[in-house]
């Protein structure tokens, strides 16, 4: 008897494997697996387990993590803080505090975190003694910089992030969980950027591909460049 076909991911959530998410965020896949799958370690000769930072939006498939759009955005924030050398224990503490304040399991991708993230972060550090892991004066600068930079290319509707403009914040390329399962597309026509980039390689002409797919020349050029950058990362 043939195995049943796998269920399609729910519409409007987005769908990313760990390698796909890692490629888009430009981070090691191993980090995503550890952060969202948890990991075992030993301390004082005892086996212990670190829980995941949060449970992904989509259920694991055969023990393989599968992520939604908001998972992607949350990971992007975690990665931005890690790049600024913020200890992961500090990030975990902030996540826990932010969930309580924002009332959302993925607080980094909310409007409230955009406006109040620095206050939430610093208050959580003071409350649990985490300030020993992050100088508060430097922390204020780091948190402000990460919030401003990371929210710059995100669009918010209602209370949550709904779109990411991943190519230098330009409007031509979007990642929208309600379109193409959240894969990068040309905003005006919905054609995947990888399709446009591959077509440019095959045809040798951006203008011809633009006519072929009825997409602007600027969108095709940006799609090709965006895919080049992803492959070079």
What DSSP designation does 43 have?
A: E
**What pLDDT, on the 0 to 100 scale, is given for residue 180?**
95
**What pLDDT, on the 0 to 100 scale, is given for residue 95?**
93
- Global pTM reads 0.89
Whole-angstrom distance, CA of residue 198 vs CA of residue 220: 11
Quote the tokens at residue 12. 């409007």
Phi, psi of 148 (to 5 degrees): -65, -45
**What pLDDT, on the 0 to 100 scale, is given for residue 3?**
47
Under 8 Å between Cβ of 166 and 154: no
Whole-angstrom distance, CA of residue 71 vs CA of residue 58: 9
Q: Render each residue's pLDDT in the chain as its tens digit; 233 residues.
A: 444 545 555 668 999 999 999 999 999 999 999 999 998 888 888 888 999 999 999 988 878 899 999 999 999 999 999 999 888 888 998 899 999 999 999 999 999 999 999 888 888 877 766 666 566 677 788 889 999 999 999 999 999 999 999 999 999 999 999 999 999 999 999 999 999 999 999 999 999 999 999 999 999 999 999 999 998 86
Quote the tokens at residue 27. 């981070």
Task: List the chain domain ranges.
Answer: 165-233
**What pLDDT, on the 0 to 100 scale, is given for residue 63?**
80
Distances (CA, A) of 71 to 95, 191, 194, 212: 13, 23, 22, 34
**What pLDDT, on the 0 to 100 scale, is given for residue 2?**
47
């Amino acid at each position: 008897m043939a195995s049943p076909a796998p269920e399609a991911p729910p519409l409007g959530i987005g769908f990313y494997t760990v390698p796909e998410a890692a490629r888009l965020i430009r981070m090691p896949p191993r980090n995503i697996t550890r952060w969202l799958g948890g990991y075992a370690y030993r301390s004082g000769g005892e086996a212990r387990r670190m829980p995941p930072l949060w449970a992904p939006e989509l259920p694991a498939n055969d023990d393989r993590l599968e992520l939604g759009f908001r998972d992607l955005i949350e990971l992007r924030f975690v990665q931005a803080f890690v790049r600024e050398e913020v200890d992961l224990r500090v990030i975990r503490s902030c996540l826990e505090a932010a969930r309580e304040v924002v009332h959302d399991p993925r607080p980094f991708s909310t409007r409230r975190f955009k406006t109040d993230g620095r206050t939430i972060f610093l208050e959580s550090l003071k409350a649990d003694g985490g300030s020993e892991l992050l100088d508060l004066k430097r922390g204020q600068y780091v948190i402000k910089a990460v919030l401003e930079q990371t929210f710059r290319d995100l669009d918010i509707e209602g209370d949550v992030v709904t779109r990411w403009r991943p190519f230098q914040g330009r409007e031509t390329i979007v990642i929208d969980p309600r379109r193409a399962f959240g894969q990068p597309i040309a905003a005006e026509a919905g054609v995947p950027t990888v399709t446009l980039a591959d077509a440019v390689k095959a045809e040798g002409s951006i203008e011809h591909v633009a006519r072929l797919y009825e997409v602007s020349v600027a969108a095709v050029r940006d799609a090709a460049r965006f895919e080049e950058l992803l492959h070079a990362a």
